Amino acid sequence: MVYFEETIDVYAAITREKEIKKWRREKKNNLVASVNPEWNDLSDGWFEIPRVARNDRNG
C-alpha cells in the first residue's frame, strides 16, 4: 500500500474511492507522489510477529 486517506464516514470513503478509481493512472500517480514521493510500502511491518511470540521450531 502506497497511499491511503482516513475518514470516520464510511459513505465518504466509498465515494472518494469511486472518484479516484475513475481517474487516469497519471493523476493517481501524482496523488501518491504528493504524499509519498518515494513510494514506500506504508503497510510494511503491519503483520510482523515478534520472534519471542512466534511458534518457531528453528530458533
Question: What pLDDT score was predicted for residue 53?
Answer: 58
What's the whole-model pTM score?
A: 0.72
Work out the mean pLDDT of the chain and round it to a whole number.
90
Q: Is residue 49 part of a domain?
A: no
Q: Is residue 20 part of a domain?
A: yes
Position 58 confidence tier, pLDDT thresholds 50, 70, 90: low
Q: Is residue 38 part of a domain?
A: yes
Q: Which cell numbers in the block locate residue 55?
A: 511458534
Position 27 confidence tier, pLDDT thresholds 50, 70, 90: very high
* Number of compact structural domains in the chain: 1
Position 52 confidence tier, pLDDT thresholds 50, 70, 90: confident
Q: Is residue 52 part of a domain?
A: no
* Alpha helix (H) residue ranges in the chain: 10-21, 25-35
pLDDT, average across residues 37-53:
85
Q: What is the extent of the structural domain holding 34?
A: 1-44
